[in-house]
Structure 1
Amino acid sequence: MKHTEAAEAGPDPVDARLGTRLTELRAERGWSLGELAARTGVSKSTLSRAERAETSPTAALLNRLCAVYGRTMSQLLSEVETEPPLLVRAAEQPVWEDRASGFLRRSVSPPHTGLRGELVEGRLAPGADIAYDRPPVPGLEQHIWVLEGALAMTAQDVEHHLAAGDCLRLRVRGATRFRCVGDEPVRYVLAVVLP
């Protein structure tokens, strides 16, 4: 599909629902775009374009928004989907892609009422590098289990190199960074547990 055809087709349905939810969250707090920009360090124009679904938000942008709204990324993304069932079939697991960074995120076990944990499958293309300036929820517990490839994960200014089968366990309190350091994509499971 050509770029003009994609533009004529309208925004991606998930991006449209996400934009609506981001607008609702800002309105619930009574914040202007300027106030949200000051809290996140993201320009008003970028925030406005994300809310109007004129652009697909990046993982880094969603992380900053989740931090000010007190949500994990999975919680935010689950709010734009229907109530997740207890059994989540592979074909029904929500997938979100940050095309700019080469990051694909599958919500294997989305957040659910009464549960504090969730499972996410992450895939990074060779050379992909994603940095988060803060956790969406301070003290968030994460378990990162590499299934295929090689991952460099930085937390608390320490870089950890993980190969297939390795698992890193931590509480996220500051900036983190995920990098695919091999010639092949890296695929990992991220178990997230709210504090």
Structure 2
Amino acid sequence: MRQAVPDRTVPDPAAPDPAVPDPAAPDPVDARLGSRLAELRAEHGWSLGELAERSGVSRSTLSRAERAETSPTAALLNRLCHVYGRTMSQLLSEVEAEPAPVLRAAEQQVWTDRTSGFVRRSVSPPHGGLRGELVEGRLSTGADIAYDRPPVPGLEQHIWVLDGSLAVTAEGTEHLLDAGDCLRLRVWGPTRFRCAGPEGTRYVLAVVRP
């Protein structure tokens, strides 16, 4: 009786290990975000060129963001939110499953702008029937983010600093906030968020849509 010969095939060292994530694969959040951006453009019936004209963002950058070939910056998302008439929290919530009434800390979506060093935790994302949102922001040392327009004109914001120092510029005036300070404003034009201390800063941003 002929005996079965054991398989002595030598694994190809160049073959990818299925147990190891592909570093070239897009971040799952970026992939879902890119798909949603493409859906929004299609819903409006705009070409990449038309969206580029409306947003001031190049066609190539828009295309790469929709295909998740690059991680979009906060400034880029802010411009697109302005065009589509939604807040950043709304946009990010749309790439999640149906929102739950209770969001545990481990379930809160965290998004990182790798370019500026801005980390954004959606503590209380938009929910049906509610106008308010709650966001935790973290800026690393030296981080500086400028938004050339509000996502929604007249957006109400309450900025409460928890740790460190934060400089917020609105309507040409810079407000220096230390831990415990709160700035209240309606946003009509450009704004700027800057880490103003030697260490990182952490703050809460409460947003109320008009």
TM-score range, shorter chain: over 0.9
Matches of 1:26 and 1:89, distance apart in 2: 32
Q: Is 1:6 equivalent to 2:15 in the alignment?
A: no
1:109-157 Cα deviation digits (max 9, x unpaired)? 0100000001000000010000000000000000000000000000011
Q: 1:161 — aligned with what? A: 176
Matches of 1:75 and 1:104, distance apart in 2: 17
Q: Structure 1 residue aligned with 2:147, among 132, 154, 157?
A: 132
Superposed displacement of residue 24, structure 1: 0.5
Q: 1:53 — aligned with what? A: 68
Matches of 2:98 and 2:149, distance apart in 1: 28
Q: Is 1:42 equivalent to 2:57 in the alignment?
A: yes
Determine helix, strand or coil for the equivalent of 2:53.
helix
Superposed displacement of residue 84, structure 1: 1.5
Q: Structure 2 residue aligned with 1:120, among 122, 131, 135?
A: 135
Matches of 2:179 and 2:80, distance apart in 1: 31
Q: 1:15 — aligned with what? A: 30
Query: TM-score, length-normalised on structure 1?
Result: 0.96
Q: 1:179 corresponds to which letter in structure 2?
A: R
After superposition, where does 1:95-114 map in structure 2 within 5 Å? 95-114=110-129
Determine helix, strand or coil for the equivalent of 2:98.
coil
Matches of 2:146 and 2:51, distance apart in 1: 20
Q: Which runs of 5+ in 2 are unaligned?
A: 1-21
Q: 1:119 corresponds to which letter in structure 2?
A: L
Matches of 1:150 and 1:6, distance apart in 2: 35
Superposed displacement of residue 6, structure 1: 1.3
Q: Is 1:81 equivalent to 2:81 in the alignment?
A: no
Superposed displacement of residue 166, structure 1: 0.1
Q: 2:60 corresponds to which letter in structure 1?
A: S
1:146-187 Cα deviation digits (max 9, x unpaired)? 000000000011000000000000000000000001111000
Q: 1:184 — aligned with what? A: 199
Determine helix, strand or coil for the equivalent of 2:23.
helix
Matches of 1:68 and 1:118, distance apart in 2: 20
Aligned residues: CA RMSD = 0.6
Count of matched residue positions in the alignment of Structure 1 and Structure 2: 189
Q: 2:165 — aligned with what? A: 150
Greater helix fraction, Structure 1 or Structure 2: 1
Q: 2:5 — aligned with what? A: none
Matches of 1:56 and 1:20, distance apart in 2: 13
Shift >4 Å, 4+ stretches: none
Matches of 1:187 and 1:179, distance apart in 2: 11
Matches of 1:100 and 1:6, distance apart in 2: 18
Larger Rg: 2
Matches of 1:84 and 1:29, distance apart in 2: 25
Q: Which runs of 5+ in 1 are unaligned?
A: none
